[in-house]
Amino acid sequence: DGGITQSPKYLFRKEGQNVTLSCEQNLNHDAMYWYRQDPGQGLRLIYYSQIVNDFQKGDIAEGYSVSREKKESFPLTVTSAQKNPTAFYLCASGQGPNTEAFFGQGTRLTVV
């Protein structure tokens, strides 16, 4: 079945360590997105990519990095520069702005 796979579902890291969250899609979508969700807040856009080898910063890109070497994959690295990394991270994909959005199951990152 087509869909988006995020892994792992839960992730624990020590403060100061970089960590990479995986997002893979087999929907043949051009656009992929990373969002962050905090309690009591709406999802916020971290990075997005419209095409392979190209990506753009979203509203809260500081402390994060991404790559888009393959159409299917859009990994997110949470660096030690991110001051408050503990959050729920969601990956999404789509064929464009006026098309249905597809979401992964999310990764809950806890930094201790």
Partner 1 sequence: KNEVEQSPQNLTAQEGEFITINCSYSVGISALHWLQQHPGGGIVSLFMLSSGKKKHGRLIATINIQEKHSSLHITASHPRDSAVYICALYSGGGADGLTFGKGTHLIIQP
Give backbone dihedrals phi and psi of 49, rounded to 5 degrees, phi first. -140, 130
- Name, in order, each residue with C-beta under 8 angstroms of 97's C-beta and a sequence gap of 6 or more: none
Q: Provide the minimum distance between the beta carbon of 59 and partner 1 in the complex, in angstroms, as a whole number.
A: 9
3-state secondary structure of 14: coil
> By C-beta, is 75 or 106 nearer to partner 1?
106
> In this complex, which beta carbon is closest to partner 1, that of residue 19 or of residue 92?
92
Of 16 and 96, CB closest to partner 1: 96
- The CA distance from 98 to 72, in Å, is 20
Nearest approach in angstroms of CB 25 to partner 1 is 14
Q: Least distance to partner 1 from the beta carbon of 16, Å?
A: 26
Structure tokens at 50: 């419209």
- Give the contacts of 36 (CB within 8 A, at least 6 positions apart): 43, 44, 46, 60, 87, 88, 89, 90
Query: Nearest distance from residue 100's CB to partner 1, in Å?
Result: 5
Site residues (vs partner 1, CB under 8 A) = 31, 33, 35, 37, 40-45, 48, 50, 56, 58, 88, 90, 92, 96-106, 108
